[in-house]
Structure 1
Amino acid sequence: MLSTRRKLLCCKKEPKTPLGFCDGPSRATGYLSCFYCGTEDRYCQPYDPENEFHEAVCMGKLKVVLRLLMKKNFHVNDEDEGKRTALHFACFYGHIDLVHLLLFEDCKINALDNQKSTPLMKAIQSWEIEIVSVLLHHGADPNIKDCNGEAAIHHAVYVDRPDIASSLLEFGGNIEDTTKDGLTPLLLALRERKHRMAAYLITNGANLHVCDQYQRTTLMYAVKWDCENIVEILLKKGVDHHLKDTFGWTALYYAVMGKRKTKMVIIQHDLLLSRQQNTFTRNEPEDVVSSGYHFESKSLTSVCARMEDTANLKTQKAAQSSSIGNGPEENEIIEVWAEKCPHPELRDYCHLASRPMPETQQSQTGKFC
């Protein structure tokens, strides 16, 4: 009886979505506190000094630091057992005056501790934007990676600080740098539900079409956290909601099975696209489809001159038997109004269209489109 009860209590529910990606409620509201983050608090580890010199740096005692350096008791680049230098501690505890002093004393600006973290990373972890700026102006490398394969911009994502990310990108930070798991800053921001950072990266040229190791797209991650505004932005910028991950799931399928509100955003976007693509099939005079004309494929990339008067249709004759067919008769070519074209970006232009060939010629040369 007891063993049966234990089994019932210990059994886990089968995930509704692959690996539980969209299971449970979506916490759409973003928080800065790591308590609400989906991952373990990576910055809660103690960063305590192990000697008198580093302790004075941590406490911001400038005079004590100067005295210890002048007496030659300690060197500016002395490391403790964790390979941490005084600059690591000064950046982590936000003492910008000590940062200036240590840089003046020619300390190692890109020193690595035992986790391969740089002083720049420690300043980012503590949200010290002013210190970040000072380090970058003195030549700190923003693209060094720690033991987790994460660069400074990834740490800026974890703390959700677009202002820090802006400084890093200004000084050569890579907006497409990947972690060991292959996550770009944008994918990482969406995975960690850092929507403010995600929005910044989207508007500053980040690649929207990247995928994680399971081929999950940026749109799928936005659906996971039910972030409607980001889903709408990604759809408008051309992220395909029909793409499938390695489990065969699409973003819409995740939204439906996860009971996300974003499913309506995707559906409405799909309906809008369908209306735009079907605009040219309206029953109007001289309708292209009803009259049997086909768009010439090359006209989609080389558009004609813009038409000013949309009330009239112009016709022209062209002998293109070599490219269209070998019949004795010339093939009729007309200009078609762009409002009938399914491509919205070309609606201010007219395109070439050709009258279809007889079936006997189509069987020989193939359909002209």
Structure 2
Amino acid sequence: MAASRDARRLYRLVQEGRLCALREELDMDIEAANRDYKRHLHEAASMGHRDCVRYLLSRGAVVDCLKKADWTPLMMACTRKNLEVIQDLVEHGADPLLKNKDGWNSFHIASREGDPPILQYLLTICPDAWKTESKISRTPLHTAAMHGCLEAVKVLLQRCQYQPDCRDKCGLTPFMDAIQCGHINIARLLLQEHKACFCAEDSLGAQAIHRAAVTGQNEAIRFLVSELGIDVDVKATSTHLTALHYAAKEGHVSTVQMLISLGADINSKDERNRSALHLACAGQHLACIEFLLRSGLRDSPDITGTLAQQLTRNTDILQCFGHSMMA
């Protein structure tokens, strides 16, 4: 019990960066770990306390010790924008190519944070650091694009040799990641500098416009349709769903409005003969149903009958259909 209290006190000193107090207290095992196998060096690196990091290293702390999920102190340091701590760890032998349980190395983690000097440094000391994929085949370029790290994406395109439209296990490209997260500036850069294909399909045959509809990224949809000329009614090849179907399924009313304003066919059917209204009803999205009914669906009487059993427990939706029929 006393040992546990001692360990907690030491972790607190490291978190707070209190080096003098740490020196006075640290007569115990320098590799002591908590229940997650996190050691003092992990904590100091993750908090960016350079003095503590250097002191622990000088005392012989294992530089590539592993905590839960196989994270090293260098990986923890890469979650912070503190180049000096990263340099100290590397100079004491930290390996940037080690991977955690998800298949991420330190460069991949740094790409998520998006600090260009850190990426440039890691590429200088380990030129092959970019040649890594997670266990689901995501590259640092995917990650930087998803997290909106524009300057990091510029570094990756300048110094690394990623194939245009590299895909993860779901078939997603960095361009799709940028679009579905609303990072239009990165999408433009990938088109201009990496020759990304804006109509590439994922493993389910969905394109970037479909992914943007799922996440409700209205401005990204406008960019794809108005600037790039993508057909607003293009269907995913495996399901025949349009962007309007996807938006209705998720209940994104503003996205449904956007798509219709861009000319989406409200009566378009998927391979199972379902319209966007069918999918809005299946998801019990009342506001979306009301908007679609007001927008002039030709086959609402047929849909009312088809979905009657499914909607019997939702009187608000049934009333919505009733008002639509009487209008």
Normalized against structure 2, the TM-score is what? 0.58
Aligned partners of 1:190 and 1:262: how far apart in 2?
17
Give the corresponding residue for 1:86: 40
Give the corresponding residue for 1:216: 172
User: Does the alignment pair 1:261 with 2:215?
Assistant: no
Per the alignment, in what secondary structure is the counterpart of residue 111 of structure 1?
A: coil
**What amino acid is the match of 1:262?**
L
Give the corresponding residue for 1:196: 151
Larger Rg: 1
What are the Cα deviations for residues 74-105 of structure 1, in whole angstroms up to 9, with x where unaligned? 12222233222221122122221121111112
Shift of residue 49 of structure 1?
A: 8.6
Aligned partners of 2:116 and 2:225: how far apart in 1?
28
Give the corresponding residue for 1:65: 22
Give the corresponding residue for 1:139: 93
Shift of residue 133 of structure 1?
A: 1.6
Aligned partners of 2:228 and 2:109: how far apart in 1?
31
- CA gap of 1:197–1:148, structure 2 versus 1, over 3 A, is same
Aligned partners of 1:106 and 1:136: how far apart in 2?
14
Give the corresponding residue for 1:177: 132
Per the alignment, in what secondary structure is the counterpart of residue 67 of structure 1?
A: helix
Q: Trace 1:237-276 onto structure 2 (pairs within 5 A).
A: 237-251=194-208, 259-267=221-229
**What amino acid is the match of 1:171?**
I
Following superposition, which runs of at least 4 residues in structure 1 exceed 6 angstroms of deviation?
Answer: 252-258
**What amino acid is the match of 1:263?**
V
Aligned partners of 1:151 and 1:227: how far apart in 2?
24
**What amino acid is the match of 1:266?**
L
Query: What RMSD, in angstroms, separates the aligned Cα atoms of the two structures?
Result: 2.9
Aligned partners of 1:267 and 1:206: how far apart in 2?
29
Shift of residue 108 of structure 1?
A: 0.3
**What amino acid is the match of 1:203?**
Q
User: Does the alignment pair 1:159 with 2:108?
Assistant: no
Aligned partners of 1:66 and 1:104: how far apart in 2?
12
Per the alignment, in what secondary structure is the counterpart of residue 62 of structure 2?
A: coil
Percent of aligned pairs with the same residue? Answer: 24
User: Does the alignment pair 1:56 with 2:21?
Assistant: no
CA contact (8 A) 2:36 2:68 kept: yes
**What amino acid is the match of 1:245?**
D
- CA gap of 1:265–1:256, structure 2 versus 1, over 3 A, is farther
Shift of residue 206 of structure 1?
A: 4.1
User: Does the alignment pair 1:150 with 2:107?
Assistant: no
1:115 pairs, out of 69, 82, 102, with 69
**Larger RCO of the pair (alpha carbons < 8 Å, separation 6+):** 1
**What amino acid is the match of 2:169?**
Q
Q: Which structure has greater helix proportion? A: 2
Aligned partners of 1:54 and 1:135: how far apart in 2?
19
Comparing 224-233 and 184-193, the one that deviates more: 224-233
Extract unaligned runs of 5+ from structure 2: 231-327
How many residues of Structure 1 are paired with residues of Structure 2 in the alignment?
A: 218
**What amino acid is the match of 1:176?**
K
